[in-house]
A and B are shown apart, each in its own frame.
Chain A
C-alpha cells in the first residue's frame, strides 16, 4: 500500500507527518489523543546508519512523551547486506533499537506496528516485530526468504516447495502465513481508524503470539512446550 494512502486512511482527526527518502516521523490524533509516528518507507534497507536514526527518534519520543502510543510504520527490504555493516557489528545496533523499543514499553508507550510494504528478516526483527501488536494492511508482505532461495539451500525442487507452501504456513513468505503463525495480530482490510482506536484503547501488553499461532493452527507445538517448561 502507498504510504500516503495509508496515512490518509488511518488518520481522520489530523496528523503532522514528515517523510524523507526513507524515514517517516510525526504525530497524529487518535480518539482525541496524540500518538507518535515513526516508520520507514521506499523498501529501505536497515543498516547501522538507519538504526541509529530510528533508535534516537525512539528514545526522543520516550523522553518527551512517556505513556504515549507509538505507531511503527513498516516497509523495508531487510538488513543492509554488506561487509562493512557487519564489520561495525550490525547486530549490536539492531539490539540497541530493540532495547529502545523495550524502554518505550517500560515507559508505558504502547507499540503498534503496521506492515504496509515489504518486511524482511533482520529488518523486520529490528523494526516491527518488537511491537506489542503487529497488524498488516493490503500490500503489506512479510518474508524471511524467497522460495527460490529456500529451494536452493534446502535442495528441494521449487515446484515441490510451492506445493508444500499451499498446505502449510510454516516457511513461505506472505502475511497470511505470518498471521496463521501468530506473528501478525490482525490483517486490516478496512475501517483503519476504528481498528487503530480499538488497539490504542486496549491493554496490549501480553505477548499473545504463541497462543494465536496455536489457535490458528500454524504452530501446534510451541504453546505446549512453553507451558511444560513453566511447570517442569
Chain B
C-alpha cells in the first residue's frame, strides 16, 4: 500500500478519524455503544437513534502520550448536540480536569444544537464550554479539529473557539449562524447558501487560518491532522487578563481593518494576497503566503 495515499478526513466516519489520529490500537471507548445509552427524546419525534448518540469519547495514546478524545459524527442528525451527546463530552472534560491527560482532542463536526432537544443542547453546549475552561484551569490543553463535512456551527462553533488551538483543513467550516440559516432568516441576498465557493471563502478553513482563528491549516489527510495535533500538544499559559486584552485588541483591529468588507476576496486583497488565487492555493502555499502579509 502506498504510504502517501490520501486518507480523507472529510470522508471518514468519526470512528475512523479517531483510529487514524491516535497511536494504532490504543483507543478505549468510554460509554461504548454496547451500553446503548441513546437519546431519550428522539423517540417522541419518531426519529431513529444512534447507540453513541453521535458522540464518541474515550482515551488513548498520541505519540506515546495519554490523551482523551471526543469525536462528533456529523452524519448522524448533523452531529447535533443533544442531551446524551453533550453530557458525554462534558463528562470527558470533567474527567480530564481530574486525571490530567496530556491533552483533550476534540474532533468537531456539528451543525450545533439538536432542535428536537433544543434546550438540552443549548445548556449542554455551555456545560461543555465550562468543562473546557475547567480542564484548561487544571493545565490540560484542549485542541480542536475542524475538517468534517457538516462543519462547526452554532453552539459547537462557539465551543470550538474556546479551545487552546484549532487545526483545520480548508474543507472545515466554522461560524455561528450557518449560511442556510442566514439565507432563511435574512434572504438570499444576505447569503446565497448554495454558492459553495462563497460558503467556503466566508466560513472555510482558509479564511479562518488567515485571520489566526485557526492555528494550523492542513491538507484533508488524517495523518496531516495527526502531525499537527502532536505539534500542538504543548502546555498552555493560564488564562490572564493581560493576554485576553491583547487578544481583544487583535479582534478590535480586525473590525477596524476589514469591517467594511462584504466578501473574503476584499479582505485578502487588503491583506496583500493574490486574492483571486487563494481558493486554488494548497495549504503549504497559503501558509508561506501568510508569512508575508499584514497580520491582523
Contact = CB atoms under 8 A, between A and B. Distances in A.
Chains A and B directly touch (beta carbon < 8 Å): yes
Contacts of A150: 115-116, 118
Given A87-B207, A122-B154, A183 B31 contact: no
Interface string A194-231: 00000000000001011001000011111101111110
Interface string A112-136: 0000000001101110011000000
Interface in A136-152: 142, 144-145, 150
A130 B118 CA distance: 18
Contacts of B191: 82-83
Given A83-B191, A94-B176, A209 B123 contact: yes
Contact of B126 (A125, A227, A229): A125
B33 interface: no
Interface stretch (B14-22, B37-45, B270-278): B37-45
Given A52-B252, A122-B155, A181-B123, A232 B176 contact: no
B214 to A, nearest CB: 9
Given A52-B255, A221-B83, A228 B91 contact: yes
Nearest to B202: A87
Contacts of B158: 91, 94-95, 98, 122, 125-126
A89 B121 contact: no
B113 A144 contact: yes
A102 interface: yes
B248 A229 contact: no
B141 interface: no
Contacts, number: 240
B280 to A, nearest CB: 20
* A83, A144, A229 pick with most chain B CB within 10 angstroms: A83
Nearest to A171: B118
Interface in B108-135: 113, 115-127, 129-130, 133
Interface in B131-148: 133, 137
B84 interface: yes
Contacts of B160: 91
Interface of B: 30-31, 37, 40-41, 44-45, 57, 83-84, 86-88, 90-92, 94-95, 98, 113, 115-127, 129-130, 133, 137, 154-155, 157-158, 160-162, 174-177, 181-182, 185-186, 190-191, 202-203, 207-208, 211, 213, 239-241, 244-245, 247-248, 251-252, 254-255, 258-259, 261-264, 267
Contacts of B241: 59, 62-63, 103, 107
Given A91-B160, A125-B155, A144-B119, A225 B87 contact: yes
Given A83-B202, A87-B267, A96 B248 contact: yes
Interface residues of A, number: 74
The 9 closest A-B pairs by CB, nearest first: A229-B91, A95-B161, A144-B118, A222-B87, A226-B91, A86-B175, A225-B87, A91-B157, A129-B126
Nearest to A178: B119
Q: Is the interface of A mostly helix, strand, loop or mixed?
A: helix
Contact of A181 (B31, B119, B133): B119
Given A86-B182, A122-B155, A181-B123, A99 B98 contact: no
Given A219-B120, A226-B87, A89 B174 contact: yes
B5 to A, nearest CB: 33
A219 B83 contact: yes
A90 interface: yes
Given A98-B162, A171-B118, A182-B123, 19 more contacts: A48-B251, A81-B177, A82-B182, A85-B177, A86-B177, A89-B211, A92-B211, A94-B161, A99-B244, A144-B113, A150-B118, A170-B117, A209-B123, A225-B87, A226-B87, A226-B94, A228-B31, A229-B95, A230-B98
A91 B161 contact: yes
A170 B118 contact: yes
Nearest to A229: B91
B197 to A, nearest CB: 13
B108 to A, nearest CB: 11
Contact of B121 (A85, A142, A144, A178): A144
Interface centre among B45, B88, B161 (most CB of A within 10 A): B161
A49 B251 CA distance: 10
A85 to B, nearest CB: 8
A223 B174 CA distance: 30
